[in-house]
Amino acid sequence: MHTLRETFPLSRSAPSRGMRVARVWWTAIRPRTLGIAIAPVAVGTALAVADGARIDWLVLLATLASALLIQIGTNLHNDAADFERGTDGPRRVGPLRVTAAGLASPAAVKRGAVLAFAAALALGGYLVAVGGGVILVIGCASLLAGWAYSGGPRPISHTPLGESFVLFFFGVLAVCGSHWLQARAFSPLGVAAGIAVGAPFAAVLLVNNFRDLETDLLSGRRTLAALLGRAGCMRAYVLLVLLPLPLLGSIALAGRPGVLLGLLAMPAFARLAVRFRAASGQGFNAVLAGTACQGSWLGLAMAAGILSAHLL
């Protein structure tokens, strides 16, 4: 098992203990996943501006911060909970998890998750005052889902519903909620845009679960990857990363042609699909990271294209 000293070794030029502890927490929040929180907020806000709303910058900052905190809280809770359930054992080939590596105690990581959720709840109070009952429902559902993903007697992450959870909460709900906060209206295009943004993020989880399939089965997890098997996972991954293609076309035809800027991400998704089919072991980590990165760029490109077309 890793120790803090082994993972962040000391030397004459090494950073202080405080810096090394900061690196542990930076690892724990899984920074590569934070684009999952940022991209849908950007898309929802861009759609609101295209619909005639003026950006409320304080609301936008609060929305981004709240989304990031929920993502961080979910990651931290997942880190501790999976270790306590025995899911993250020594045979795991995924990226380092600080609890399983002995770099932080489960209690400390759980406290970090509680603090992140509490801060999101505090910001949510302001957003509810701005957006009313719709945002109250979305916020409460998001916080509950963040906990239920890894917590409770039957965590979502241990079922075949994990990918659907990501697609809905980090795609559709995040885009539509961000649009509502700026425009105070529901956008049908927000649903299509939310699916387009959320599908690659669901693919990230699919890669994660396929990579960990053997150890997940041993620990009792029955994820979508376990249900589909290898061939089914390959098809599902291709479907998820290429699903934005027809959705971007439909959004463009509905009056938002700038969204087609997101097509710039599609060649990378096609290459990732080829790499996924050939990957094994730790090779899945690169596919996972690439999918998360391209999913974030897809959302940001969609938002930039929508805004550019509106302003021009």
Q: What are phi and psi of 40, to 5 degrees?
A: -65, -30
Structure tokens at 200: 């690659």
What's the pLDDT at 10? Answer: 38
Instruction: Tell me the percentage of the chain whose pLDDT exceeds 70.
Output: 93
Collect all residues with Cβ–Cβ distance below 8 Å to 92 and sequence separation of at least 6.
100, 212, 215
Q: What is the pLDDT of residues 39-56, one digit of tens each?
A: 999 999 999 999 999 999
* Span 222-240, average pLDDT: 93
206 or 18, which is more confident: 206
Q: What is the pLDDT of residues 91-108, one digit of tens each?
A: 566 677 889 888 889 999
36 or 84, which is more confident: 36
What's the pLDDT at 7? Answer: 42
What's the pLDDT at 185? Answer: 94
312 or 161, which is more confident: 161
What's the pLDDT at 81? Answer: 84
Counts of helices then strands in the chain (DSSP H, E): 14, 0
Q: What is the pLDDT of residues 282-295, one digit of tens each?
A: 889 999 999 999 99
Quote the CA–CA distance of 256 and 305 in Å, as a whole number: 9
Average pLDDT, the chain: 89
Collect all residues with Cβ–Cβ distance below 8 Å to 210 and sequence separation of at least 6.
225, 230, 233, 237, 284
The reported pTM is 0.88
If you count them, how many residues does the chain have?
312
- Please determine, for residue 84, whether its predicted confidence score (pLDDT) is greater than 50: yes
54-63, 167-176, 219-228: the lowest-pLDDT one: 219-228
- Please determine, for residue 2, whether its predicted confidence score (pLDDT) is greater than 60: no
- Secondary structure letter of residue 170 according to DSSP: I
* Span 238-253, average pLDDT: 96
Q: What is the pLDDT of residues 255-275, one digit of tens each?
A: 999 999 999 999 999 999 999
Structure tokens at 167: 């697609």
* Span 177-183, average pLDDT: 96
Quote the CA–CA distance of 262 and 260 in Å, as a whole number: 5
Q: What is the pLDDT of residues 125-177, one digit of tens each?
A: 999 999 999 999 998 998 888 888 877 778 888 899 999 999 999 999 999 99
Q: Nearest 5 degrees, angle CA 145-CA 147-CA 152?
A: 105
What's the pLDDT at 14? Answer: 54
What's the pLDDT at 90? Answer: 56
What's the pLDDT at 22? Answer: 87
